[in-house]
Amino acid sequence: MKSYDVAIIGYGPTGAMMAYLLGKQGISTLVIEPNVSVYQIPRAVHYDGEVMRIFQSQGLHEKLKNSTRHPGFITFFNGFDWKLFHQDLSKSDRVHQWPNSTFFSQPKLEAHLRENVDTCDSVDQLLGWQLEELHEDSTGVTLKITDINGEQSRDYRCSYLLGCDGASSTTRELAGFTLKDLDCNEPWLVCDLMLDKSIEIKDRAYQICDPARPTSIIPCEPGHIRWEFMLNATDDPDIIEDEDNVRSLMAPHIGRLNSQLSERDGKLVRAKIYRFHALLADQFKRGRIFLLGDAAHQMPPFLGQGLCAGIRDAYNLSWKLTGVISEQWDASILDSYHTERYAHVEEVIKLAITHGDIIQTRNPVKALARDLFLMLGRLFPVFVSSIKFGLQWRLGEGFYAQDHRSLHRYMLRQSVITLNNGDSVLLDTLLGNSFTVVGFNTDPAPLINRQNTDFLKESLSSFALGESGQGVDKEGLLQGWADDNKVALALLRPDRQIYGLCYRDSSETVKDQLSKLIDQLKSQLG
């Protein structure tokens, strides 16, 4: 029986990202996926700046730039065409240096991810195969898989099993995970219209908050328009997906995209009823089995965070799993995958439900109250502060140093750094692949040299930011954050999350604070 360090069930974006993150570190990995090729109908259409930063770390940003769109605005209208809410997305803070909203082609993204995986000699792929049985013991998991025709079966062994197999996850079912319902179960008709790419489309997304038919209109990659129509009790599900019906639903709104368009324009490539769920697995980790992506969580699409959450899952787990498999660190670090990711995803889902409640209001009286409230919010923005786009998401408690100031559990802001030779580069390109110390007007290197960091296996890298350092944050936002919070050093995890901070206004020296951080790190890594 052939054995692998990791078996990944599912080869969508989350599974492919995970396979590459492990494969490039030489972790022996088996990918099992029933579909032989990438599904060509678009599903997920949005990712945010943090996820683009993750793509940047894998060299995907250059491949993706020609098949994406960055919306300039999002506007909410009601059934009377009153403008209720409007946000200029280009003006939201780019914490990660990338736009906070990017619309993309999922088939193209998956193709690029698989191209990356194909460069990894340690990753084997079994496409056209599916998980049939699993049996976990104290040292690993035994899998029985069958081909999709049911003609062959094979057994494999892995140290860790990752369920990246979507909403109807076989891994989740066989391993006995349960789902918690967060009270969202609304039927919507999701449609994809492909237009000639030469047609100029207004640079904005729309939410039509009409009690008679809530509707979302989202220009995605060039030429692709995502339409979402909330279904009514009187709609016949047997015919609502028919093209003539879909185009009649588009008719009142398609002119918003371009006044010359009619509902007969473009090719309708999909029209399918989906139920917008809000579901969360009771655990993301149980023993040697992990759930990632839609296998672990499902959310309504009003924030465009479904795919984002899966990519974050992979990025969070991959470096921890790599360290444990390579026997650098104790396996107890893997427990932090659940505590960090569960709390974060739960927050995202609840906010998505809040957005959905605004959009999906069906009672005319409640809708009028909502309209007046949102319009008042245009005069007093604090009233609509719950409608948030481009957030920086915080992780739950987990693998971090203690910090009473609560500035950690975020990714460190990424700025454009001007080096001493005049070159300008993104911060992450200057940081190591493992743990890194960034100094703010403080050189970390001599302080690190006085510490025992042999337990990290890889050397603790450093970068000094400031006028007397290796580069300057010309934009000033990262340096300003450090100055405002009296931060001298930031110790970063491999995923750029802030593990711990050393402060200028502490009663202890920066050297002593760093020593304590490294002691905590050593203790947690085992």
> In the chain, where are the structural domains located?
416-525
Q: Give which of 411, 163, 166 is closest to 277, Cα–Cα.
A: 166
Determine how many CB atoms are found less than 10 A away from the CB of residue 41: 10
Report which residue type is found at 331.
Answer: A
Sheet with 424-426, side-by-side order of all strands: 424-426, 416-419, 471-473, 461-465, 436-440, 487-492, 498-503
Round to whole Å and give the CA distance between 176 and 426.
Answer: 43
Round to whole Å and give the CA distance between 250 and 263.
Answer: 6
Reading the chain (526 residues) residue by residue, the pLDDT tens digits are: 899 999 999 999 999 999 999 999 999 999 999 999 998 888 899 999 999 999 999 999 888 887 888 888 899 999 999 999 888 888 888 999 999 999 999 999 999 999 999 999 999 999 999 999 999 999 999 999 999 988 899 999 999 999 999 999 999 999 999 999 998 888 999 999 999 988 999 888 999 999 999 999 999 988 999 999 999 999 999 999 999 999 999 999 999 999 999 999 999 999 999 999 899 999 999 999 999 999 999 999 999 999 999 999 999 999 999 999 999 999 999 999 999 999 999 999 999 998 898 899 999 999 999 999 888 888 777 767 767 666 788 999 999 998 878 888 899 999 999 999 999 999 999 998 899 999 999 999 999 987 788 888 778 999 999 999 999 998 999 999 999 999 999 999 999 999 999 999 999 999 999 999 999 999 999 8
State both tokens at 4: 């692998």
**pTM, full prediction:** 0.95
State both tokens at 347: 């927050």
Q: How far are the Cα atoms of 84, 170, 277, 398 from residue 300, in angstroms, in the given order?
A: 21, 22, 6, 26
The answer to whether residues 134 and 143 touch, using CB atoms and an 8 Å cutoff, is yes
Phi-psi region of 266 (alpha: psi -120 to 50; beta: other; left: phi over 0): left
User: Cα torsion at 75, 79, 84, 89 (round to 10°)?
Assistant: -10
What is the dihedral sign for C-alpha 152, 155, 156, 160?
positive
pLDDT of residue 513: 95
Round to whole Å and give the CA distance between 233 and 187.
Answer: 10
Round to whole Å and give the CA distance between 165 and 170.
Answer: 7
Determine how many CB atoms are found less than 10 A away from the CB of residue 474: 11
What architecture is domain 416-525? 3-Layer(aba) Sandwich (3.40)
Enumerate residues 6+ apart whose C-beta is below 8 A from 166.
10, 12, 293, 294, 295
pLDDT tens for residues 238-294? 999 999 999 999 999 999 999 999 999 999 999 999 999 899 999 999 999 999 999
